[in-house]
């Protein structure tokens, strides 16, 4: 652990638990993404669902990136925080009429369509408004992303996207429809993908589908390859930025597009996860029969990832220089799954010690709940405290 990395003296005056965002790290990450995509036909749509904190969104939109939204309220939030509607894509399996109408009224860039009935609904609603909606078909590429089953999305029997068998029907409908315009195809194979081979497979499938459409006389403007790039949860200090160079290079190499075609990306986690930490205080150190429990004032209501999908977060004691001791780190919520880590080597703790749960910037604060009548965690930013 790098001492002095957190402004721990300032933390003492803040009520725990809270989220702390390292804005420098976020900017360094955004700089790299910008550098790796500049001068190419690459477009970034940040996946708002990973972290919809207004300050974070403003930071990202200031780089000129677009947004990937999965609800009507995310579209409203994104626009409020500086994203241009002409740079917003809208995904989700259950878009309601109200949400589709909002997206049409906002003139968003593209609907990522996930089923035949959704496509028919968009055609109908756009027709009522005398508009033409741009759509991309989300195709289920049937790729195993080798990630946790709750966050894998690209396999055939999955609620997301259209299956191969649906595509001729979809194309047939689009040909006869006058209020939707097919501009591309969309994929998203899962999340926290660290084996880049999965993206290589995705490129092969995507090229296959591009040809399938071209053979039927359809010229696609774009291929949207979704998000999913993983980060290093084990070593937040040594690897604070995801491997964007290798990631983008892979698409350079394997996607052969025409000059008028572009690749769209929807990174979420890889943009924001490393810059956020959940800061908590040690309430009690409890000696069990064979183990020690570090009981902190943050719980699964503040960060549900460990409870929801056995996610690993690095945990450190910022207040102690004493010898590492083995603890189960648990929260105060009345659920056994309210555990942040088991058998963790953490500097010996006492009541009041400040604990950092690292890499919590994605799917952390956005998923917070008020179970047990708890308050939602506040957020602070490195350049504002
Ligand atoms: C969740 C999601 C993303 C972002 O995924 P990350 O793993 O956070 O990069 C991108 N696109 C779609 C359609 C999603 O559902």
pLDDT digits (tens, 9 = 90+) for 83-118: 999 999 999 999 999 999 999 999 999 999 999 999
* Domains detected in the chain: 8-18+275-381 (2.40.37.10), 23-271 (3.20.20.10)
Q: What was the pLDDT predicted at 22?
A: 97
Q: What was the pLDDT predicted at 274?
A: 98
Q: Distance from the CA of 341 to the center of ligand 1, in angstroms? A: 25
Q: Distance from the CA of 159 to the center of ligand 1, in angstroms? A: 15
> What mean pLDDT, rounded, does the chain reach?
95
Residue 24 in this model has a pLDDT that exceeds 60: yes
- Choice from 148, 161, 191 to test ligand 1 binding pocket (greatest atom count within 8 A of CB): 191
Question: Could you tell me if 300 and 341 are in contact, meaning their C-beta atoms sit under 8 angstroms apart?
Answer: no
Residue 51 in this model has a pLDDT that exceeds 50: yes
Q: How does pLDDT run across 156-200, given as a tens digit for each residue?
A: 567 889 998 999 999 999 999 999 999 999 999 999 999 999 999
Nearest atom, ligand 1, residue 363 CA: 8
The CA-atom distances, in angstroms, between 71 and each of 90, 97, 133, 224, 332 are 7, 11, 17, 18, 32
Q: Distance from the CA of 2 to the center of ligand 1, in angstroms? A: 31
Q: What was the pLDDT predicted at 2?
A: 46
Q: How confident is the model at residue 3 (pLDDT cuts 50, 70, 90)?
A: very low
CA 92 to chain centre: 14
Q: Which of 50, 52, 54, 60 is nearest to 26 (CA)?
A: 60
Q: What was the pLDDT predicted at 1?
A: 38
Q: Distance from the CA of 328 to the center of ligand 1, in angstroms? A: 31
**pTM for this prediction:** 0.95
Residue 133 in this model has a pLDDT that exceeds 50: yes
Cα–Cα distance for residue pair 293/159, rounded to 1 Å: 39
Nearest atom, ligand 1, residue 153 CA: 15
Share of the chain above pLDDT 90, in %: 91
24-28, 33-37, 100-104, 255-259: least confidently modelled range:
255-259
* Residues whose beta carbon lies within 6 Å of some atom of ligand 1: 47, 49-50, 68, 91, 188, 191, 226-229, 266-270, 362
Q: How does pLDDT run across 308-348, given as a tens digit for each residue?
A: 989 999 999 999 999 999 999 999 999 989 999 999 999 99
Q: Looking at ligand 1, which residue's alpha carbon is closest to its atom 10?
A: 227
Q: Distance from the CA of 269 to the center of ligand 1, in angstroms? A: 8
Q: How confident is the model at residue 141 (pLDDT cuts 50, 70, 90)?
A: confident
Nearest atom, ligand 1, residue 138 CA: 13
Nearest atom, ligand 1, residue 273 CA: 8
- Choice from 44, 48, 49 to test ligand 1 binding pocket (greatest atom count within 8 A of CB): 49
């Amino acid at each position: 652990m790098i001492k002095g990395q957190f402004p721990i003296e300032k933390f003492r005056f803040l009520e725990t638990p809270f989220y702390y965002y390292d804005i420098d790290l976020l900017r360094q990450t955004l700089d790299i993404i910008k550098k790796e995509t500049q001068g190419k036909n690459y477009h970034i749509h940040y996946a708002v669902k990973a972290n919809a904190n207004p300050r974070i969104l403003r930071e990202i939109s200031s780089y000129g990136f677009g947004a990937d939204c999965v609800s009507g309220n995310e579209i409203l939030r994104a626009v409020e925080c500086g994203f241009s509607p002409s740079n917003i894509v809208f995904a989700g399996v259950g878009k309601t009429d109200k949400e589709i109408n909002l997206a049409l009224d906002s003139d968003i860039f593209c609907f990522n369509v996930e089923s035949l009935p959704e496509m028919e609904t968009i055609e109908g609603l756009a027709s009522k408004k005398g508009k033409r909606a741009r759509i991309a078909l989300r195709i289920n590429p049937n790729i195993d992303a080798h990630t946790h089953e709750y966050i894998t999305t690209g396999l055939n029997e999955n609620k997301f996207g259209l299956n191969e068998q649906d595509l001729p029907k979809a194309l047939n409908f689009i040909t006869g429809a006058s209020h939707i315009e097919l501009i591309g195809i969309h994929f998203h194979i899962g999340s926290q993908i660290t084996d880049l081979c999965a993206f290589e497979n995705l490129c092969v499938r995507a090229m296959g589908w591009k040809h399938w459409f071209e053979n039927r006389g359809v010229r696609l403007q774009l291929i949207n390859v979704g998000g999913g790039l993983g980060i290093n949860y084990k070593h937040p200090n040594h690897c604070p930025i995801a491997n964007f160079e290798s990631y983008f290079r892979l698409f350079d190499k394997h996607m052969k597009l025409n000059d008028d075609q572009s690749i769209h990306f929807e990174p979420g986690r890889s943009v924001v996860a490393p810059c956020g930490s959940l800061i908590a205080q040690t309430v009690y150190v409890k000696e069990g029969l064979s183990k020690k429990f570090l009981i902190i004032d943050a719980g699964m209501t503040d960060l549900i990832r460990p409870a929801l999908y056995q996610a690993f977060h690095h945990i450190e004691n910022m207040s102690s220089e004493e010898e590492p001791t083995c603890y189960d780190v648990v929260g105060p919520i009345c659920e056994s799954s309210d555990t942040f880590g088991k058998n963790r080597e953490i500097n010996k703790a006492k009541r009041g010690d400040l604990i950092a749960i690292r890499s919590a910037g994605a799917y952390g604060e956005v998923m917070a709940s008020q179970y047990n009548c708890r308050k939602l965690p506040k957020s602070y930013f490195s350049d504002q405290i």
